[in-house]
A and B are shown apart, each in its own frame.
Chain A
Amino acid sequence: GDSVTQMEGPVTLSEEAFLTINCTYTATGYPSLFWYVQYPGEGLQLLLKATKADDKGSNKGFEATYRKETTSFHLEKGSVQVSDSAVYFCALIAAGNMLTFGGGTRLMVKP
């Protein structure tokens, strides 16, 4: 079946550091890929998405590129802020049309 694997947290960074959160997937066909973010006390929000190979999703300084050859969709940001502290979820939709989530990665950014 479909699955998403993302790096375990917590990831602790200083402000303005470079962020990478790894995400790899297994799916049939050509899934759409997503990153969601959940800030403390709030629901999930869609951060960015990519629907086909080599697409790059971007939002709020975050980027992720759909790499079919490595079945990856790593999340990156060049300079994190304290306000980026949250839990990040990688997810996919494949043929089954239901979202499959990774386990979540907590990011803590210190001033």
Chain B
Amino acid sequence: SAVISQKPSRDICQRGTSLTIQCQVDSQVTMMFWYRQQPGQSLTLIATANQGSEATYESGFVIDKFPISRPNLTFSTLTVSNMSPEDSSIYLCSVRLTGEKLFFGSGTQLSVL
């Protein structure tokens, strides 16, 4: 199994500022995923973060807006840059170990005023 610590759990931010979300896993994983869940919507994959290489972004998401770091096999950060109210969402990191079970961080609820 995996335990994922994600912080902050929630934040209220001003328009134009940036927020960095941290995700710490208690075991080494090759791939970590960052998702966004807008209010009442399903998950949308933002990017895949592999240790030692640049993150791979999904259509509609760009590195300038959502820079990701992956300095080692247990840690990753996602930054939401130059925020606007449309960025208000829950942001989640996730891993899947061998087998089928998904593990998610507890989520970061972001509100942008």
Contact surface of A with B, Cβ cutoff 8 Å? 9, 32, 34, 36, 38, 41-46, 49, 87, 89, 91, 93, 97-99, 101, 103-106
Contact = CB atoms under 8 A, between A and B. Distances in A.
* Most chain A CB neighbours (cut-off 10 Å) among B31, B33, B102: B102
A38 B96 contact: yes
Contacts of A43: 33, 35, 45, 48, 58, 94
A87 B48 contact: no
Contacts of A9: 100
A32 to B, nearest CB: 8
Contact of A101 (B31, B45, B90, B102): B102
Interface string B37-54: 101101111001000000
Contacts of A103: 100-101
Contacts, number: 46
Contacts of A93: 40, 42
B105 interface: no
* Most chain A CB neighbours (cut-off 10 Å) among B39, B44, B100: B100
Interface string B13-37: 0000000000000000001010101
A97 B39 contact: yes
Size class of the contact patch on chain B: 10 to 19
A104 B100 contact: yes
A105 B100 CA distance: 7
Interface in B78-93: 90
Given A44-B45, A93-B42, A99 B37 contact: yes
A11 to B, nearest CB: 11
A44 B39 contact: no
A42 B107 contact: no
Contacts of A99: 37, 42-43
B102 A45 contact: no
A97 B102 contact: no
